[in-house]
Chain A
Amino acid sequence: MGMVRYIANKFFYMIVSLFVLISATFFLMKAIPGDPFTSEKAVPPEIKAHLYEQYGLDKPLYHQYFKYLGDIAQGDLGVSMKRLNQDVTHLIGQTFSASLKLGVVAIIVSVIVGVILGMLAALYHRKFIDSAAMVLAVLGIAVPSFVVASLLQYVFAYKFSIFPVSGFKGPMYYFLPVAALSAQPIAFIARLTRSSMLEVLHADYIKTAKAKGLSWMAILSRHVLRNGILPIVTYMGPMTANIVTGSVVIEQIFGIGGIGKQFVEAISVRDYTLIMGITIFYGILLMVARFITDIAYVLVDPRIKLTGGKEG
């Protein structure tokens, strides 16, 4: 019962947030100078007036706003104003699929590599492996992704010709962007895993397990890893949302037609419908990711209780 109420409550807040998001974006977007038909070679005023009329941009702002709300209520995101006659949903679908494919691989790589690095560091606490892993982690967090990306490109694509420089046509094209995209999460996860495992390793129940005569492997897999990995699950939500929404920098450098790149382009050409469409899509994606994380907290950690509306 508590669960149903909790979800209904969350859902209500999601709708409200979405509405605020849409309204704020709509008015901010219209407040920026320029419009989709701003161009260096000036379009004659008659033609421009005609275009405004056809896209309803000649109407007062509130009129445009309510019309847009009405369209969305019917699930219609409209047609791009710059990419002529292309549906916003189609554009989102096509570019998001690239970001998603890359993102999912990057998430898996981040979790696996991050956890392994963190575990090694914890198990060999204050030994060489620990220091090496943590130096790597600090580097991963500190070095910006465009530097990592360019460096990877230069070394592995150009100097050693192992991977292609850019494009997104097959498995070989995944390696470099995935590496660049997961550098930061790997570093984060490694540090997280290390500290939580160190804590668990000193817990009483591990001593008990040892005293019971359990084998070291059994203790590791049954107790240490399972408890040590908990913080990672909580980090997964925001990380997933962050990665699958696409990194402009990575997509630009590796020439991947992802949604991050598309979003930035849409803003610079003032493609109103596409800006709104991607914003709404991002909004929903982030809210759903958070929602799932909230639910996951509850299921994974019984210490967290459900109280309608308030977050644990």
Chain B
Amino acid sequence: MKKSKSLLLMIAMVLVIGTALAGCGGNNANKGNNAAATNAAGNEGSTNTGTATGDEKLAADQTLRVNLSAEPPTFDPAQAQDNQAHTVLQTMYEGLTHVNAETGQAEPGIAEKWDVSTDGLVYTFHLRDAQWSNGDPVEAADFVRAWKRVLDPATAPAAPYAYQLYYLKNGEEYNTKKVTDFSQVGVKAVDAKTLEVTLKSPTPYFLGLLSFYTYYPVHKSVEGNAKWAISKDTMIVDGPYTLTEWTTGQSIQVTKNEKYWDAASIKLSKIDFTLVNSGATELLSYKNGELDRAGNPNGEIPSEQLPMVKKELPNEFVSKGIASTYYYEFNITEKPFSNAKIRKALAMAINRQVLIDNVTKGGQLPAFGYVPPGIAGADGEYRTAVKDSYFTEDVEQAKTLLAEGLKEEGLTALPPVELSYNTSENHKKIALAIADMWKNNLGITVNTVNQEWAVFIENRQHQNYQIARAGWVADYNDPMTFMDMWVTGGGNNDTGYANPEYDKLIADAKASSDLAKRQEDFAAAEKMLIQDDMVILPIYYYTNNSLTKEYLKGVTTDFSGAVDFTRAYLLEH
């Protein structure tokens, strides 16, 4: 018996060690491949150095290392719907236009030039001689195919962002099966290099929209292959980089695409994305030299570390306002928040600067309107032309308004109020601070309720709340991306706000291509939304807080805070 027992132990040990060795073996093989790849990249890098101009000397290894705090669920442009996918897709694809981050203007992408009809409805794009990563030419048909996939009700799964293409004539009708013939939809390949697009109504920001991923072209090989976007071997792209590695939950790597039409201005040989969902780890990796850039929008720096980071790394830390607003929304269909005076009282009784200095610590801008700075207006920024002076912080006036509101509602005191937010350290701190301000300034009892993300969204969308946290990021560079949310019955209007006058202003702005007139409409609508009705309670305009190593150049962020790594390069360090 003793003998057999030790034999069993022996076998167990052998098995365990064997498995371990097998694991290590596989790993070493991988490592070998990586090493080979790194060498190849090094060579490419050095050829780049040769072509570099000016005093700046490029580093030999042009591999950019950044982090994504969430893994993009898909690389199919038709299915993508999040910012992280945007960051990566933008390195792999190019649409008809791309937006210059500094000017905010649409510049030629795959389309070399375009003509617009005088009524602003028909766009004719002339495509340049661009190639797919397999050498095929990029043709007008590739765009028609891609847009048809997005709108086609038979596409499985249905494209969740199909409505981004509702600007096209009959786009919505085709998607919702009211029109069954795709030739009725406003996109047509006139010839291999000419694409004609007809819109439903004049859309001044349409050229900018074309740089959005839902409008990217797809290669003909995607037809009949549902799984093309999950493997690097079947992803044929037209952008500056191609997908070369994707390990679930761990890393994504893209490598320079020599077939890209503007490959000469691409200096990076590779971009390595790690997939770490921990701000603390990301910051430590950055400080330890494992990342070249950390923080927003693709990653995160823990807010409690921001003051320290600012002091420690002043040359690397950048805080930049982005077109995004943090606010609370009221459920105005139920008492007591059906009363505008009570809503206004709450909005006035918060000290936003104190909140920003002590709680969020990210240099955010106090918000008194809804459209954030950075969004284009008729001439320059909308927010510069239309000031957000819709209300002021004034505790005394807030008390008066509250008293009046309560009287109108036949109440003597406000019953305890429920403020809900989705699970996050930051939202929690903000909610607690604001609840405290309301308690001190107005004597209101506030219960803060923490809810898991999907539960929270579900509750908010079903108006199962009193006050709920919200945030909105611009989809495109126009006040419309913020303002059309609050029309009666709007898909994202969770407040129950229904104001025919407001609806009319938005409808007018939608139908008009006169920029000055549109701006007036938006200003009037925003005044209604905030100053008159206080449907939402603006808190702050977001900032992107990031750290960039001094040797990393050429990373740009646009008005919405979306980051573009494609033209980045690394200096010798």
Q: Which residues of A contact B (CB under 8 A)?
A: 32-35, 37-47, 50-51, 54-55, 82-86, 91, 94-95, 98, 100-101, 104-105, 107-108, 150, 153-154, 157-158, 161, 164-171, 226, 251-258, 261-262, 265, 268-270, 296, 299-300, 302
Contact = CB atoms under 8 A, between A and B. Distances in A.
Interface in B453-505: 453-455, 457-459, 461, 471, 475, 491-492
A255 B250 contact: yes
A150 B227 CA distance: 38
A204 B564 CA distance: 75
B522 to A, nearest CB: 20
Nearest to A249: B278
A242 to B, nearest CB: 16
A168 to B, nearest CB: 6
A257 B278 contact: no
27 contacts: A34-B455, A38-B454, A38-B461, A41-B492, A42-B461, A42-B491, A43-B163, A44-B491, A47-B159, A50-B153, A51-B158, A85-B76, A85-B230, A100-B23, A104-B23, A164-B285, A166-B284, A167-B251, A169-B31, A171-B27, A226-B6, A252-B277, A255-B274, A256-B250, A257-B250, A265-B71, A299-B4
Given A47-B162, A302-B1, A94 B247 contact: yes
Given A40-B471, A43-B491, 9 more contacts: A41-B492, A43-B160, A43-B163, A83-B230, A153-B281, A165-B284, A170-B34, A265-B71, A300-B8
A256 to B, nearest CB: 7
B314 interface: no
Interface string B284-316: 110110100000000000000000000000000
Of B162, B249, B250, the most chain A CB neighbours within 10 A belong to B249
Given A150-B280, A158-B284, A268-B453, A44 B163 contact: yes
Contact of B249 (A41, A84, A98, A108): A98
Contact of A33 (B250, B251, B277, B455): B455
Contacts of B426: none
A101 B20 CA distance: 7
Number of chain B interface residues as a range: 35 or more
A82 to B, nearest CB: 5
A253 B274 CA distance: 12
Contact of A37 (B17, B160, B274, B287): B160
B447 interface: no
Of A32, A34, A258, the most chain B CB neighbours within 10 A belong to A34
Nearest to A300: B5
Contacts, number: 177
B281 A254 contact: yes
Nearest to A269: B454
B452 A268 contact: yes
Given A94-B247, A158-B288, A84 B20 contact: no
B275 interface: yes
Contacts of A46: 175-176
Given A54-B156, A54-B158, A85-B227, A105 B281 contact: no
Contacts of A253: 278, 280-281
A99 B471 CA distance: 36
Interface in B80-117: 81
B38 to A, nearest CB: 11
Contact of A86 (B81, B230, B452): B230
A51 B157 contact: yes
Of B79, B248, B454, B455, the most chain A CB neighbours within 10 A belong to B248
A101 B27 contact: yes
Interface in B502-550: none
A167 B274 contact: yes
B249 A95 contact: yes
Interface in B140-173: 153, 156-160, 162-163
Contacts of B285: 164-166, 255
A256 B275 CA distance: 8
A145 B17 CA distance: 25
B235 to A, nearest CB: 12
A291 B16 CA distance: 17
B290 A164 contact: yes
B248 A91 contact: yes
Contacts of B475: 41
B39 interface: no
- Top 6 nearest A-B pairs (CB, nearest first) are A257-B249, A34-B454, A257-B250, A255-B276, A42-B491, A33-B458
A254 B287 CA distance: 15
B465 to A, nearest CB: 13
A54 B152 CA distance: 13
B158 A104 contact: no
B457 A83 contact: no
A84 B76 contact: yes
Interface in B228-257: 229-230, 247-251
A104 B19 contact: yes
